[in-house]
Amino acid sequence: MLIKRPRPWEISENHVTPEHVFLNRRSFLRHTGAGIAGAAVLGVAGCGEAAETASGGDSEAQLTAKAAELFPYPKNTDIPIDRPLTDEEVASTYNNFYEFGSHKRISRAAQALETRPWRIEIKGDVESPFTIDVDELIARMPLEERIYRHRCVEAWSMTVPWSGFPLAALVAMAKPTSSARYLKMQTFLKPSVASGQKQSWYPWPYTEGLTLAEATNELAFLVTGIYGKPLPEQFGSPLRLAVPWKYGFKSIKSIVRFEFTSKKPVSFWEEIQPSEYGFWANVNPEVPHPRWSQASEEVLGTGRRVPTLLFNGYAEQVAGLYKGLEGQNLYL
């Protein structure tokens, strides 16, 4: 008899918030009392997605037929988690995407981003640098859906079903050389489309980085969809990162470039304010942000706070990555 043993990070599909609930925005607001006032207290540090606002606007991602026909991706059905999925409408209409503004009501503005055609550059310490169309890249990857917790540095959290593929698969395709120690990632640079990029005091393009060991960890995931559908522009279409044991600002959106390097990258928020946002940014409830506690988090859509878990509950899978690094500031 075949006995299937779920991996500890996996989350059961029956804990996902039903899509009809997610889409019923007004019902959500009536039952939770959520709204702009409640959302405002979340702050504006760089994260992924967040709570509800008054400006809605669902959108269909811009896809070629080749990419669209792949959805939905095969589901990883043995994913135990103690939280339901976050309402889709909440996540999709209240977003951090500084390329389109420093406020969270950017979902409509983000639709200006043309996501096809979209080329991905692989460069740096690799056997042979190359550029590949995003749809060709996706077609060559092992696709699946994973349900992950997402913990923002602003002390809120959500749980969503990402569609995508392991970052390790892209690393294997890139064939890094022995000198590669880090993976540097960057977004597009189009100030004519993304008005936020006209603000010269920000170090555009948005840059993030991981060690190669982090990038090849089983949890590191490149995302092309959400809720069984193509990824909308405000989520970082056509390709974004999900590293669920780190604060949300590490999950870079709309990636155009992967560079393998021997030098540790300086990330976007680290360059702006290194005392608050460092390279590692691992979730730790015992290390407060300079301006607020990280001991607990608001679970979006529930009206309740819960204790924050070390590494956002993924310590078993990632704690070993940081042995011997105890002297470094791993949690900012």
CA distance 219 to 134: 21
The whole model's pTM is what?
0.83
Backbone angles phi, psi at 262, to 5 degrees: -90, -10
- Inter-residue contact 271 to 70 (CB < 8 Å): no
CA 216 vs CA 182, 203, 244, 317, 322: distances in Å: 11, 27, 14, 12, 14
Residue 94 is which amino acid?
A: Y
- Decide: helix, strand or coil at residue 235: helix
Asked whether residue 286 carries a pLDDT value surpassing 60, the answer given is: yes
Pairing of strands 296-299, 156-166: parallel
Q: What would the pLDDT profile of 295-311 be if each residue is shown by its tens digit? A: 999 998 888 999 999 99
Asked whether residue 72 carries a pLDDT value surpassing 70, the answer given is: yes
- Inter-residue contact 221 to 148 (CB < 8 Å): yes
Give one DSSP letter per residue of 38-103, joined into a string. Answer: HHHTT--SS-SB----S----------HHHHTTPSPPB------SSPPPPHHHHHHSB--GGG-SS
- Inter-residue contact 285 to 331 (CB < 8 Å): no
Q: What would the pLDDT profile of 191-210 be if each residue is shown by its tens digit? A: 999 999 999 999 999 999 99
Who wins on pLDDT, 98 or 36?
98
Across residues 78-86, what is the average pLDDT?
77
Per-residue confidence (pLDDT) for residue 8, from 0 to 100: 55
CA 42 vs CA 33, 48, 153, 256, 299: distances in Å: 15, 12, 9, 29, 12
Per-residue confidence (pLDDT) for residue 300, from 0 to 100: 84
Lowest mean pLDDT among 73-77, 123-127, 157-161, 171-175: 73-77
Q: What would the pLDDT profile of 98-111 be if each residue is shown by its tens digit? A: 999 988 788 899 99
Task: Give the closest residue to 223 by CA, choosing from 273, 179, 164, 166.
Answer: 164
* Number of C-beta neighbours around residue 127 at 10 A: 9
Who wins on pLDDT, 4 or 277?
277
* Number of C-beta neighbours around residue 128 at 10 A: 7
